[in-house]
Chain A
Amino acid sequence: MAAGPVAVIRVARWPGGLAAGLVLALTLGTLAAVLWRAGFALRLGPADLSAIRFTIWQALLSAALSVGFAVPVARALARRRFAGRGALVTLLGAPFILPVVVAVMGLLGVFGRGGVLNDALGLVGLGPVSIYGWHGVVLAHVFFNLPLATRLILQGWQAIPAERFRLAASLGAPTGRLLEWPMLRAVAPGAFAVIFLICLTSFAVALILGGGPRATTVELAIYQAVRFEFDLGRAATLAAVQFGLCAAAAVAVRAAGGAPEAMGGGLDRVVERHEGGGWSRAADAAWIALAALFLLAPLAMVVARGLPGLVELPDGLWAAAGRSVAVALGATALTLVLALALVLRGGVAAQLSSLLPLAASSLVMGTGLFVVLYPFVAPRDVALVVTALVNAAMALPFAARVLAPAVAQAEAAHGRLADSLGLHGWARLRWLILPRIRRPLGFAAGLTAALSMGDLGVIALFAGDGQATLPLLMVRLMGAYRMEQAAGAALVLLALSLALFWVFDRGGRVDAAA
């Protein structure tokens, strides 16, 4: 036997066990509940098979396009210094907390029937092009994931030590083949796999821009099976398929070397390069301009179209906003407690259960909860509570991923001192862990609040008339072709999401300990 660390009880293990149990119940338990309610009658129709096919290939295509375009954009950002570069890199993090419905609204403003692109095409006698259909779904996915891919790959570029570029330049060696291609081969598969996984679970985008036999995702098919046919057998079968797909994708992420770190800082450094003349400079400028335009134009449209809408906001907007904020705050509190409990417990089981929601369908989670609660309460009475619960579970993997390294670092630096002083349990949490992880805790809270604020999932299944959250209200307005009011609501939703993120993130930074 080798000498090993002394077993010290630092933090009780039962909260982590409880959290893991809750996550298990929310993911696999709800799936089992739906299966049970359906009498374990598994069946898939032809429409379901085409939904599965579409889900896979749109995710492949979205991931390929996102990563493909991200490479030149990231390279341009890695080697050029220009005014506004920092702001642009920060902006690349924004789509993650941007409510999907708001982004889709912005994309409609650019690429939609009455959008600026069709206006321009009309002037030269072309068009119109339609954003509805599979290409609209892919377009929206690229809009969301190109920034993510760019950040991931930019990180790879900046991880190449400047000395190597200097060495390559002094030898007259081709930096591309020598330094950049090996880096891309290491980083790009991970980015691809992560984006593939994200696109597999697409619901709101498909709900608004897709649909029909050629552009229905599995999540959307689950929604339709529950909402319009109340065919729980189909929903459960689709959910099981979705679970399998996502689990396979998660394994692929691992195989590709794990999800690269996208949240980290240090992206403000410019790599000093010693090659590249006028042409490459012009090409870099073009890539940066195109990417910025692609990202900024829809956001600008949200503001441009939303401002007039603010004059005549729809009835019930502030009530819906209040419900959304309440759901977001509830989900945030629960996510932080769960994530912290799991991270502090550590171990493979806790790690796996913090990742489990990545493979789960939020709609099935919601349906399962309603199946379980149905005998006791009317679904409408608990729609908001269930939504908060599901949102908390869905944000858990991200929160845990942000918190885990911070907790590990606090333990590595100060764990022995805490051990020697007998800090365990609550005292350790209060005097060591929480003060040391304030920043990531605030960031995780902001992330969760914004994600939950913009979520459109379970609530679409079960909300009654007086229970719409802000995203659902927007979709209802869009469905009723009250686009001006929807645009106004989108601006309010955007402002609230960003404000929630800012308040929490800021709260973690203000007066943060050295």
Chain B
Amino acid sequence: MLRLEGLEIRQDDFALSADWSLDDGAICAVMGPSGGGKSTLLSVIAGFLAPTRGRVVWDGRDLTGLPPAVRPISILFQDNNLFPHLTVERNLGLGLDPRLRLDANQKARIAEVLARVGLAGLGDRKPGALSGGQQSRAALARVLLMDRPLVLLDEPFAALGPGLRAEMLDLAREVLAGPGRTLLMVSHAPEDAARIADRIVLVGEGRAAPPGEAQALLADPPPALRAYLGL
């Protein structure tokens, strides 16, 4: 279970606080106006940014001081989720061994997850030779391969068209979601949240609200969400 205990983030005139927990297996959308701190919240959970106060706790273990790589977390950013100079296979391989000394068993696993995301046989391509949707699939494949219990999606599909974005979200839900894996995704579009999320965290006015029931929130938005959605 992810727990944010008395979390406070202060940077110049920006401030954000959060104090809540999220159940295992939840698919949670993080919504709110631009500049409200959605990405910043994910950065703190992932370990790129140290909070001013408070703790990030996973299953009772304090993660706050740990570097990103040793946290039980995978993250996809808005862009640059693949190294452009490495083949897809090597990009995935880095998720298994940062020194990239891959044995036959590991290579077989890479081929397997590539097939699962629909990229069978494309392991020796470089990202530049893939379409935008294929690049997203490759990044998802690495997350799948790393098999961490908490996955953070910081709008990795924002640059894709609406149709492709929905396709990727479905794929993410299909291959990643499941017992024991929690998804936390920044989202701008209520239809995305409605599509796959069962929880929503509303970020704005200096606070990340506790996760609420997605369907209920979208059906009867509180004033802040109502303002954000322009209702």
A residues in contact (CB < 8 Å) with B: 1-9, 413-414, 416-417, 419-424, 426-428, 430-432, 435-436, 513-514
Indicate whether B98 reaches chain A with its CB closer than 8 angstroms. yes
Residues of A within 8 A of B85 (CB): 435-436, 513-514
Choose one: B49, B70, B74, B100; the contact of A3 (CB below 8 Å). Answer: B49
Contact A513 B68 (CB under 8 A): no
Choose one: A2, A4, A421; the contact of B98 (CB below 8 Å). Answer: A421
Considering the chains assembled together, what is the distance between the CA atoms of A513 and B100 in angstroms? 18
Kindly list the 6 A-B residue pairs having the minimum CB-CB distance in the complex, ordered from nearest.
A422-B69, A513-B85, A435-B85, A427-B98, A514-B128, A8-B67
A2 touching B10 in the complex, CB below 8 Å, given contacts A420-B46, A421-B95 = yes
Residues of A within 8 A of B95 (CB): 421
Choose one: A4, A8, A413, A423; the contact of B94 (CB below 8 Å). Answer: A423
Choose one: A2, A424, A432; the contact of B52 (CB below 8 Å). Answer: A2
Contact A431 B48 (CB under 8 A): no
Indicate whether B4 reaches chain A with its CB closer than 8 angstroms. no
Choose one: A2, A7, A420, A423; the contact of B11 (CB below 8 Å). Answer: A2
Contact A3 B81 (CB under 8 A): no
Residues of A within 8 A of B227 (CB): none
Indicate whether B9 reaches chain A with its CB closer than 8 angstroms. yes
The prevalent SS among residues of B at the interface is: loop
Residue of A nearest to B142 (CB): A421
Contact A3 B50 (CB under 8 A): yes
B residues in contact (CB < 8 Å) with A: 9-12, 44, 46-52, 65, 67-70, 73-75, 77, 80-86, 90, 94-95, 98-100, 126, 128
Contact B86 A435 (CB under 8 A): yes
Contact B94 A431 (CB under 8 A): yes
Residue of A nearest to B129 (CB): A514
Choose one: B52, B69, B90; the contact of A1 (CB below 8 Å). Answer: B52
A–B Cβ pairs within 8 angstroms, 7 of them: A3-B9, A3-B51, A416-B77, A422-B70, A428-B98, A431-B98, A432-B83
Contact A417 B83 (CB under 8 A): yes
Q: How far is the CB of A107 from chain B (nearest CB, A)?
A: 44
Q: Which of B9, B67, B126 has the most CB of A within 10 A?
A: B67
Residues of B within 8 A of A2 (CB): 10-12, 52
Considering the chains assembled together, what is the distance between the CA atoms of A419 and B75 in angstroms? 11
A427 touching B99 in the complex, CB below 8 Å, given contacts A5-B50, A420-B74 = yes
Residues of B within 8 A of A426 (CB): 99
Residue of B nearest to A428 (CB): B98
Contact A5 B49 (CB under 8 A): yes
**Known A417-B82, A420-B75, A428-B98; further 17 A-B contacts with Cβ < 8 A:** A2-B52, A3-B10, A3-B50, A8-B67, A414-B83, A417-B77, A417-B80, A417-B81, A419-B47, A419-B67, A419-B69, A420-B46, A421-B94, A422-B70, A423-B98, A431-B90, A514-B85
